[in-house]
Amino acid sequence: MKQKYREELIWKHLDGLCTEAETNHLNNRIKTDPTFAKQIEQLKMLDNSIDKTVLQSAPIHLTNSILARVNQQPKIKPATFSLIPAMVVILILLATTVYFLPEASTPLSDYIPVDWNFLALNFKISQKYLPYIFGSFAAIALIWIDYFYTRKLSI
């Protein structure tokens, strides 16, 4: 246990993490014990060797390879993905409005309450809203396709 502590202390010393008291203790021992001083020197050599060894040289062509891959990226930026949830919300609001909107020509007194049985809808959507609804669906579909293929093509 004592030896383990001593070894930890010496590595700490080599890492420059010792407190002042610990450093003084080690320095005194180094001064009075030549064997210990020699061992510390050897460990310093070992420590310096690790320092010099850990950094490996990457292949010379690495930078060019990475830049070549960057250039292969699709130039067209995908549509902003956050647009999609926003459009979905707009579409839901639009659909809800259309769903509850009575025909303009229908007098309020003749208004038929909504049948919640969705298998037997008894209302019709005004023709003038149809282009907007289909347009919204088409826009969402196009953004999805754009996003999907941009991701698929990207490296």
Residues near another protein (CB under 8 A): 3, 6-8, 10-11, 15-17, 35, 39, 42-43, 45-46, 49-59, 62-63, 65-67, 69-71, 155
Least distance (Å) from another protein to the CB of residue 110?
57
The nearer residue to another protein, 3 or 127, going by C-beta atoms, is 3
Least distance (Å) from another protein to the CB of residue 108?
53
The nearer residue to another protein, 62 or 141, going by C-beta atoms, is 62
Secondary structure, 3-state, 49-118: HHHHHCCCCCCCCHHHHHHHHHHCCCCCCCCCCCHHHHHHHHHHHHHHHHHHCCCCCCCHHHCCCCCCCH
Least distance (Å) from another protein to the CB of residue 32?
15
Least distance (Å) from another protein to the CB of residue 114?
46
